[in-house]
Amino acid sequence: MAVTTHDVLVVGAGLAGMRAALAAQARGSDVAIVTKVYPVRSHSNAAQGGINAALNPEDSWESHAYDTVKGSDYLGDQDAIEVLAREAPAAIVELERMGVVFSRDEHGRLGSRNFGGASHARTYFVGDFTGQAILHVLYEQLVRSGIRTYNEFFCTQLLRDGGGTVSGVVALDIRTGEVHQFLARAVILCTGGIGRVFEPSTNALICTGDGDALAYRAGAPLMDMEMVQFHPTTLQSNGALISESARGEGGHLVNRLGERFMAKSAPNAMELASRDVVSRAAQIEINEGRGVDGCVLLDVRHLGAARILERLPQIRELALEFAGADMITDPVPVLPGMHYQMGGIRTDIRGATPVPGLFAAGECACVSVHGGNRLGANSLLETVVFGRRAGEAAAEFASGRPVPGFSESPREDEERRLRALVQRDGTGRTAALRLEMGRTMTSRVGVFRDGAGLAEAEAALRSLRERAGAVAIGDKGRLFNQALVAALELDYMLDLAQCVVAGAIARTESRGAHTRLDHPKRDDAHWLRHTLCYAAEGGPRVDTAPVAITRWEPKERRY
Ligand X SMILES: Cc1cc2nc3c(=O)[nH]c(=O)nc-3n(C[C@H](O)[C@H](O)[C@H](O)COP(=O)(O)OP(=O)(O)OC[C@H]3O[C@@H](n4cnc5c(N)ncnc54)[C@H](O)[C@@H]3O)c2cc1C
Helix or strand or coil: residue 542?
A: strand
Is residue 196 part of the annotated active site? The answer reads no
Nearer to ligand X, 12 or 116 (CB): 12
Residue 461 sits in the site that holds ligand X (CB under 6 A):
no
Count the helix, strand and coil residues of the chain and give each as a percent rounded to the nearest 5. 40, 20, 40
CB of 401 to ligand X, least distance (A): 23
CB of 485 to ligand X, least distance (A): 9
Q: Checking DSSP bridges between strand 541-546 and strand 529-534, what pairing results, if any? A: antiparallel
Residue 181 sits in the site that holds ligand X (CB under 6 A):
no
Q: Which stretch binds ligand X (CB under 6 A): 21-29, 57-65, 67-75, 186-194?
A: 186-194
Q: Which stretch binds ligand X (CB under 6 A): 41-49, 61-69, 96-104, 256-264?
A: 41-49
Distances in whole angstroms, Cα of residue 9 to Cα of each of 126, 191, 209, 354, 399: 31, 12, 18, 18, 13
**Around 238, how many Cα atoms within 13 Å sit in the side-chain half-sphere?**
13
| Span 300-329, contacts to ligand X by CB under 6 A | none
Distances in whole angstroms, Cα of residue 327 to Cα of each of 271, 304, 535: 17, 9, 47
| Span 235-294, contacts to ligand X by CB under 6 A | 241
CB of 259 to ligand X, least distance (A): 28
Size of the site for ligand X (CB under 6 A): 43
CB of 32 to ligand X, least distance (A): 12
Nearer to ligand X, 349 or 364 (CB): 364
CB of 272 to ligand X, least distance (A): 14
Count of beta carbons in the 10 Å neighbourhood of residue 176: 12
Cα–Cα distance, 452 to 469 (Å, whole number): 26
| Span 139-178, contacts to ligand X by CB under 6 A | 154-155
Nearer to ligand X, 114 or 379 (CB): 379
398 by Cβ neighbours in 10 Å (0-12 / 13-18 / 19+) ranks as buried
| Span 480-539, contacts to ligand X by CB under 6 A | none
CB of 555 to ligand X, least distance (A): 26
Contact residue for ligand X among 25, 42, 112, 157 (CB under 6 A): 42
Residue count of the chain? 559
Question: Which of 113, 185, 247, 511 is an active site residue?
Answer: 247
- Which residues have CB under 8 Å from 315's CB, separation 6+? 48, 128, 241, 242, 243, 245, 246, 327
Nearer to ligand X, 42 or 510 (CB): 42
Contact residue for ligand X among 24, 46, 319, 325 (CB under 6 A): 46
Q: Confirm if 360 and 188 have CB atoms less than 8 A apart.
A: yes
Contact residue for ligand X among 10, 49, 185, 394 (CB under 6 A): 49
Nearer to ligand X, 165 or 314 (CB): 314
| DSSP secondary structure letter of residue 23 | H
Phi, psi for residue 298 in degrees, rounded to 5: -100, 120
- Which residues have CB under 8 Å from 94's CB, separation 6+? 384
| Span 339-378, contacts to ligand X by CB under 6 A | 340, 362-364, 377-378
Residue 12 sits in the site that holds ligand X (CB under 6 A):
yes
Cα–Cα distance, 186 to 192 (Å, whole number): 19
| Span 105-124, contacts to ligand X by CB under 6 A | none
Q: How far is CA 369 from its chain centroid?
A: 12
CB of 365 to ligand X, least distance (A): 8
CB of 291 to ligand X, least distance (A): 23
Which of 243, 39, 41 lies closest to 150, judged by CA? 39
CB of 508 to ligand X, least distance (A): 28
Nearer to ligand X, 362 or 372 (CB): 362
Residue 100 sits in the site that holds ligand X (CB under 6 A):
no
Nearer to ligand X, 174 or 254 (CB): 174
| Span 383-402, contacts to ligand X by CB under 6 A | 383
Residue 229 sits in the site that holds ligand X (CB under 6 A):
no
Q: Which residue number has the CB closest to ligand X?
A: 14
CB of 527 to ligand X, least distance (A): 25
Which residues, in sequence order, are bridge partners of residue 42?
none
Helix or strand or coil: residue 331?
A: coil
Residue 337 sits in the site that holds ligand X (CB under 6 A):
no
Contact residue for ligand X among 14, 337, 426, 512 (CB under 6 A): 14
Contact residue for ligand X among 8, 10, 13, 422 (CB under 6 A): 13
Q: How far is CA 123 from its chain centroid?
A: 19
Is residue 231 part of the annotated active site? The answer reads yes
Q: Confirm if 73 and 371 have CB atoms less than 8 A apart.
A: yes
Phi, psi for residue 39 in degrees, rounded to 5: -45, -45
Contact residue for ligand X among 11, 21, 269, 358 (CB under 6 A): 11
Q: Confirm if 68 and 75 have CB atoms less than 8 A apart.
A: no
Q: Confirm if 20 and 364 have CB atoms less than 8 A apart.
A: no
Which of 478, 457, 16 lies closest to 226, judged by CA? 457
Nearer to ligand X, 364 or 445 (CB): 364
Binding site for ligand X (CB under 6 A): 11-17, 34-37, 42-44, 46-51, 130-131, 154-155, 190-193, 202-203, 207, 210-211, 241, 340, 362-364, 377-380, 383
Q: Which residues are catalytically annotated?
A: 231, 247
